[in-house]
Structure 1
Amino acid sequence: MRLAVALAALLLAASVQAVTLPPLERAIAYRSILRTGNTAGKSPWRFGQVLNKAGLPVFEVDESGNPTEEPRVSNNPDFSSLIETTGPFGARKLYLITHFEAPAPSVQYVVELGQAPDGTLTPRNMKPVDWSALGGLWNPAPGSAPPGAPTWGARSTSRMPAPSPRPPTWPASRPRWTPAAATARWRDTWPYWDVYPADITLDLIKQKFNPYKYGHIHETRVDFKGNVNTFKWYTMGRLAFEMAYVLPDKKTVYLTDDGTNVGFYKFVATKAGDMSAGTLFAAKFTQTDATNGGSFTTQWIQLGSGVNKDLRALALNTTFADIFETASWTDGTGCPPGFTSVNEGGRAVQCLKLKPGMDTAAAFLETRRSAGYKGATTVFSKWEGITFDPKRKQLYTSMTSIRYGMEDNKKKGVASTTYDKGGNNDVKLPYNPCDCVFKLALDASNSATTMQAMFCGAVAAPCDPEDPTCNPLDTCDVNAISSPDNLSFMPEFDTLVVGEDTSDHQNDVMWSYSLANGTLDRIFSTPYGSEVTGTYWYPNIGGSSYLMAVIQHPYGESDQDHVTDPESTGPEAWVGYFTWKTVAKPTGLKFEPITPSMTDEEKNSPRWTPKVTLYRADRTPAPLRRPARGLLQRWF
């Protein structure tokens, strides 16, 4: 009897001891879902094929500005979200939604995916999204899948840059645009309305183009059957939006602004999960330190409150002249009495007077001007990605470079007052073309209170002609970030993923940054002339984890001559991902880093980390239940 009791006690004691789980090593690779120009299933369309308002193909243009017989296909995919939907009896379907950054208006495709047991994603079918009822999709950029996206079947993205509300003019002697006179953007824009450059006139522009219809956050929803609904949220203002990130409260949305002399914004919805009504704010920064990218305190200025349907009516029936009266700036005296100076958007100083009763129109249709008018900070340069760390309750965000209005009355290190004239000059930092990733602390109401640089890029040392590993085109240090763009946070692993959009690294890179130990590892390198976009983390879809990565416009921004190299991988873009089986109770990860791309073969190809090591918490098994009374006696 005593032996039996002792044996039971030993079993109970052993059962509650923690079991140390060894790290898991997983071989991984970059897997492509689609390259631009590909087809999927029985779809008649090619991935990225540009369509006009009627859903018909847009064609390339000849030297005379007339259409050719070659359909236009965009090599500019950007945010590519994975949306998991649920149907009858718990059936699942997985969709990919990809929008293309250019041309403007652009295109968006929904792709039905198959998912294999090892996580491999295969395109089954594909269709374009119809945005014609909302005037087309203007220059969409990165995006986010809001919390609860599988429930909403939705994700929000952004539109950049917002077109100017001032109509273009040219001499009466040139009533038509010739191909030489039309900019590349406008040449690409008008075929959406089935008007090619050879036929563009000022009357057509006035008739068809209302700039206040563009520059707003949009949302795309897909259900189990593949039905798609589109929304445009005028409630979040009108900017050169780069990113809209919804916090877990499903009310607070942080908004970054891409361009020169831009700001930072926050939208708070009236009701959680409903973006159709709420209040818009702009940030006022006070600098407290200028070292290592700077530190700031943050205050929020309310711009206005509105309801989407009312704001849409304003956008359709309002002109710039209805909102502001303008005057000229005079050096030495500034704006005339009654006018306020604003310096935003790289347009230099402007003198504005808000017309009576137009506060709401200014807040939501001229958001950046309204912010500057009310004293918010509009000096930042290309504010890019943003993501959220729930454990530390802080945001991580990036900018392309510290320049222009962010410098203290300088432009690229040369004395200049252009970008600070008439503005607040709130930011005074040393020029850094390689820029930084910043963190913003949030208070209990999810409002950012401080901002501080976390880590920055650095200008590379001059190249030694005798050093074969030194590339003079890498003007930023290859072992640090350069022009950080898309960000995504992996909270389970305390890891921040950073994608570059840079001209200061010849090959753009995706980095993994460990918050636990501050290490930065290169995990992905893209071919000549491309950038990393669509960086986004999905911790568990059907038992697999996915880190998305898009290779946009290979050979498109630089090194165009290399597209004919024997090692060339072609100008078609990639939409792809890394995947591994989801693990329980992860504590961290470590990607095996890769070296910089050095040879022609490496610079022509995507290169990626071959392995990830996943760390897990110790497992404490549940203790054995004490046997029922009398059971041991019966056993023994």
Structure 2
Amino acid sequence: MSLRNDAFKLGALAVAISMALTGCGSDSDNDGNPDPQPRMERLTRIATLPLGSEATGLFMKEDGEVFTNIQHPSDANVTVDGEGHVYKHATVGLIEGADIHEHFESISVPETDEEKQIMRVAVGRYNVLGQQGQSWAGTPGTGLGAIEVNDGTALIRVSNDPDFNGWVQVSEDEGYLFTNWEDRPGGMSRLHLIRTAEGRWVVHGNDASMVDFSAVHGTWVNCFGTVSPWNTPLTSEELYFDETASWNAPGEGGVQDLADYLAGKANSDYTAAYPNPYNYGYIVEITDPTGTPTPVKHFTLGRYSHENAVVMPDQKTVYMSDDGGGVIMFKFVADNAGDLSSGTLYAAKVTSDAIPMDAAQAGFDLEWVELAHGGNDQIKDWVADYDDITAADYVEGENSYISDQQINDWAESKLNQDLDGSGDVAANPFGDNRVAFLESRKAAVKLGATGEFNKMEGININPALAKASVEGEGPQAYVYVAMSDISGAMLDEEGAIQLTNDDARCGGVFRMPLEADYNVSRLDMVELGGPYDPTDEANTCSVNGLSGPDNVAVMNDGRVLIGEDTNKHENNMVWLLDPES
């Protein structure tokens, strides 16, 4: 392996010299003229994915190898790649055999049908670790991505939506890979991996399994995630259920699948097993990851469409992104380092640099609005108050759960203000702060936070850079956050956020400079997607710029890995952004 790495570094040095003369990562037009897109001077295209698929699960190992998945690829992908793989099934994989920190040239945009149907990488090789439905001795009979009822007696589906990858390293050549399966109910697989003498990662001893979530009533749409500083995977429940009032409406298919999960094949009493909505929409920590993986739901971090949560090196401060329309950025500060079971939840209130403002120059000051302090056990008791509600209780136009009026009255009592113009300040209808943790979005907006963000995706740091920066021993470090489609309330003519520029429909990546005590008070655009061209059906956003940035990971040198989730590129891509270029 050392000979391979030395050779690679010599080649990278030549590329680096060339880039210094011609512009880092710059493509050229077919006629030999320089690419007119200045954004390609900051972006290097690492990979192009098969048709129909998203790039998910970006996670960089210490040696510079990168996990990245192929989510829901098209059935039209029939081309066999050089290693015998066909990409019409969801795939969990790794860019291996090279250090992503080294400089390299962008891979080209796929042109032929064959190129469009396979996974192509600019450096190293793509190693398929497993595909949807693949079985090993430890997995259910239906294989990788299988979502079974909680007693294991029946299959609900085999998911084709792998997302977050979390790597828990045991040694240089061994570790456990945790992969989310973004479905209803959600799932997570664990693959025990070892590196062979040839440098290939393989599943060790058929040690592959799906994590058992039955003890926490299952999970819902396990999306992106991170690994905590104490080496436990944090999987995110992406709730995508803005109005809890409709949870128990007849015909809610995803909720019925969850009821099937809870009931199990042996129990036909689905009414008794009807899911409580307040059990879903949280960050779930996987404790004992190298032994018996044990999930712990952290109600303390709030209930909404969690895309991702990243814990700062102080092991107390957590920043969280919220996916959907009209959403909020959240912060949590734990009472004790390394323990997310109790602490204080906050939401961001933004002040724009200008109204209106060009999205390419977007900048906001941030103020953190305190929602409430709470602990898991206390909040779990509040959740249990809604255990006995079923579809039989649903009445059109009414609410079986926490109502908007109750949320308003809780906020009025907290602020001592008349918020609804009734002429009176209402009393807290509960005598507690359950609203902050069970209806976090609505609670935050009522207290003055800004609920106007759209499609807020991955949020991440580089821990070593962050720690050095805050301790004054390194350059400024940032928390990066992607927004895959800057539209909706971000582009309207109302509220605190009023952006312009059609390129915003291609999304963009923002960053927040870390301050003392790991606080942030500023959010700035660092790379807008596009250009946007609605007349180009295949690539509505330029192939030389971002479209639908989703997963992000920050490298040791401050550059940023970005995976796309877009229908505005014919083939989704993985990029490397140099924000200081």
Normalized against structure 1, the TM-score is what? Answer: 0.61
Structure 2: distance between partners of 1:328 and 1:187: 27
SS at match of 1:448: coil
What is the identity, as a one-letter code, of the residue corresponding to 1:99?
N
SS at match of 1:113: strand
Query: Between Structure 1 and Structure 2, how many residues are aligned?
Result: 423
Q: How is 1:52-201 mapped onto 2 (pairs within 5 angstroms)?
A: 52-59=149-156, 72-85=157-170, 93-102=174-183, 104-124=184-204, 125-149=207-231, 154-161=232-239, 163=241, 164-168=243-247, 182=251, 184-186=253-255, 188-194=257-263
Q: Which has the higher strand share?
A: 1
Q: CA deviation at 1:403?
A: 1.2
Stretch moving more, 263-272 or 450-459: 450-459
Cα 1:229–1:327 change in 2 (3 A) is: closer
- Counterpart for residue 128 of structure 2: 32
Q: How is 1:311-326 mapped onto 2 (pairs within 5 angstroms)?
A: 311-318=379-386, 323-324=402-403, 326=405
Structure 2: distance between partners of 1:393 and 1:358: 41
- Counterpart for residue 304 of structure 1: 372
Q: CA deviation at 1:57?
A: 2.8
Corresponding position: 1:51 with 2:148: yes
Q: CA deviation at 1:262?
A: 0.4
- Cα shift readout 1:178-235 (whole Å, capped 9, x = no counterpart): xxxx355345434313579xx99xx9458521101111110113454x3221111011
Corresponding position: 1:355 with 2:428: yes
What is the identity, as a one-letter code, of the residue corresponding to 1:285?
V
- Cα shift readout 1:566-625 (whole Å, capped 9, x = no counterpart): xxxxxxxxxxxxxxxxxxxxxxxxxxxxxxxxxxxxxxxxxxxxxxxxxxxxxxxxxxxx
Preserved CA contact (<8 Å) 2:218 2:262:
no
Structure 2: distance between partners of 1:354 and 1:398: 39
Corresponding position: 1:507 with 2:576: no
SS at match of 1:474: coil
SS at match of 1:148: coil
Q: How is 1:387-402 mapped onto 2 (pairs within 5 angstroms)?
A: 387-389=460-462, 390=465, 391-402=475-486
Q: CA deviation at 1:373?
A: 0.6
- Counterpart for residue 229 of structure 1: 294
Q: CA deviation at 1:404?
A: 1.3
Q: CA deviation at 1:478?
A: 1.3
Q: CA deviation at 1:130?
A: 1.2
Structure 2: distance between partners of 1:354 and 1:473: 55
Which fold has the larger relative contact order, with Cα–Cα distance below 8 Å and residues 6 or more apart in sequence? 1
- Cα shift readout 1:415-443 (whole Å, capped 9, x = no counterpart): xxxxx5xxxx1101125211110011222
Corresponding position: 1:495 with 2:559: yes
SS at match of 1:340: coil
Gaps of 5+ in 2: 1-8, 14-97, 99-122, 388-398, 409-415, 466-474
- Cα shift readout 1:274-304 (whole Å, capped 9, x = no counterpart): 1111111000000003121511100001001
- Cα shift readout 1:103-135 (whole Å, capped 9, x = no counterpart): x12222222112224542111221221111110
Normalized against structure 2, the TM-score is what? Answer: 0.67
Cα 1:397–1:169 change in 2 (3 A) is: closer
- Counterpart for residue 259 of structure 1: 324
Structure 1: distance between partners of 2:381 and 2:565: 36
Q: CA deviation at 1:446?
A: 1.1
Q: How is 1:153-552 mapped onto 2 (pairs within 5 angstroms)?
A: 154-161=232-239, 163=241, 164-168=243-247, 182=251, 184-186=253-255, 188-194=257-263, 204=270, 208-224=274-290, 226-289=291-354, 290-291=357-358, 292-318=360-386, 323-324=402-403, 326=405, 340=419, 355-389=428-462, 390=465, 391-409=475-493, 425-430=495-500, 432-461=504-533, 472-491=537-556, 493-517=557-581
Preserved CA contact (<8 Å) 1:396 1:438:
yes
Preserved CA contact (<8 Å) 1:76 1:100:
yes
SS at match of 1:209: coil
What is the identity, as a one-letter code, of the residue corresponding to 2:385?
N
The percentage of counterpart residues that share the same residue type is 29
- Cα shift readout 1:370-396 (whole Å, capped 9, x = no counterpart): 100100000111110111152422111
Structure 2: distance between partners of 1:510 and 1:314: 42
What is the identity, as a one-letter code, of the residue corresponding to 2:521?
T
Gaps of 5+ in 1: 1-20, 60-71, 171-176, 330-336, 343-351, 410-419, 464-470, 518-636
Cα 1:205–1:371 change in 2 (3 A) is: farther
Preserved CA contact (<8 Å) 1:36 1:74:
yes
Preserved CA contact (<8 Å) 2:259 2:275:
no
Q: CA deviation at 1:306?
A: 1.0
Q: How is 1:550-561 mapped onto 2 (pairs within 5 angstroms)?
A: none
Q: CA deviation at 1:341?
A: 6.2
What is the identity, as a one-letter code, of the residue corresponding to 1:474?
N
SS at match of 2:445: helix
Q: CA deviation at 1:41?
A: 4.1
Q: CA deviation at 1:400?
A: 1.6
Structure 2: distance between partners of 1:462 and 1:395: 32
Structure 1: distance between partners of 2:446 and 2:386: 19
What is the identity, as a one-letter code, of the residue corresponding to 2:439?
E
What is the identity, as a one-letter code, of the residue corresponding to 1:402?
I
Structure 1: distance between partners of 2:150 and 2:313: 36
What is the identity, as a one-letter code, of the residue corresponding to 1:36?
Q
Cα 1:80–1:362 change in 2 (3 A) is: same
Report the RMSD for the aligned CA atoms in angstroms: 3.1
Preserved CA contact (<8 Å) 1:457 1:476:
yes
Structure 2: distance between partners of 1:214 and 1:105: 10
- Cα shift readout 1:22-51 (whole Å, capped 9, x = no counterpart): 565755011111111111245443111121
